């Protein structure tokens, strides 16, 4: 609805690929060697553009780490 307010809060891992210049949100089931479950930030942006809320706030508390560091952290979870 046009008067609605939307809050999107994400706390987790993220990754920025310098070669492709793409940013990703990595859900809990993300695998470092399989990007199938990685969420491209552009997809989130496109989805949000289709929402007709009066106000939208995105809070992203994301650890943006090199993929090798991520790999060791994910395997210990």
Helix, strand, or coil here: 50? Answer: coil
Overall number of domains in the chain: 1
In which domain, by residue range, is 69 found? Answer: 5-75
pLDDT at residue 67 tops 60: no
Give me the percent of the chain exceeding a pLDDT of 90.
32
- pLDDT on residue 16: 85
Residue 7: beta bridge partners?
57
Q: Give the mean model confidence (pLDDT) for residues 45-64.
A: 88
Q: Tokens 């991520």, residue?
A: 70
């Amino acid at each position: 609805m046009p008067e609605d307010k939307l809050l999107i809060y994400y706390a987790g891992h993220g990754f920025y690929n310098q070669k492709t210049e793409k940013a990703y949100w990595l859900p809990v089931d993300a695998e470092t060697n399989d990007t199938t479950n990685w969420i491209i930030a552009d997809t989130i942006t496109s989805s949000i553009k289709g929402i007709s809320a009066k106000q939208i706030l995105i809070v992203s508390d994301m650890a943006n780490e090199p993929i090798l560091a991520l790999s060791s952290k994910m395997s210990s979870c």
